[in-house]
Amino acid sequence: MFRLKPLTVLIALAALAGCGDTDQPAAPASQSKPVKVITGNEQLPSDHPSIPELSVEPGSPTADIEEVAMPRQGPPVVVPDSVRGEWSAVHLALTDKEGERSEVRAELGEDLEHAIGGLNLRAHSFLPSYMSDNEQITSSSNELANPAVLVALSRDGQIINEGWVFRDYPQFNTFASHWVQVELLEAEPADPKKR
């Protein structure tokens, strides 16, 4: 004779209980809960504790984020022997925060004193064919295939910002400052006969 076990009966009853009328339509979308987009301008609930207003005093370290030194981080710069000493200067276009543009000649390794207000600008290294990996930043040749210059903005000897400026691909510049925009125009060979 066929005998049912209690566990089998319970499973069968649970399955039957779950089988309801499947002909009922799903709830219309208009009855679903609307999605609320948060913009950041919402009012706090009335029972929320007050939040004090933040104020920044002119001249305080938080008033001007570039007051904090931001030296370049990353792999070391290796100038190959085939490039070292072959370039003496770069020509840069500087646009200050008021929109005034000027063109300057910067000797490699020398400060342009008071280039932008009271700030100095230095063109550290020029790489005619910039290339980078996780180990180093270098130049693949002495040809102007991807020219870039490492520039630093400083005040009283302390670097405020430092980064690379590319001639052909300015969208990849790592130098960014609200004081000045820097554009690499050209590089000047050390040997005047190569100009």
pLDDT per position as a tens digit, 136-157:
999 999 999 999 999 999 988 8
Nearest to 164 by CA among 187, 184, 143: 184
Residue 117 pLDDT > 50: yes
Residue 172 is predicted with a pLDDT of 94
- Of all residues in the chain, the percent with pLDDT exceeding 70 is 66
Instruction: Give pTM, 2 decimals.
Output: 0.63
Burial string for 1-20 (b: 16+ CB within 10 Å, else e) reads: eeeeeeeeeeeeeeeeeeee
Residue 87 is predicted with a pLDDT of 97
Residue 25 pLDDT > 60: no
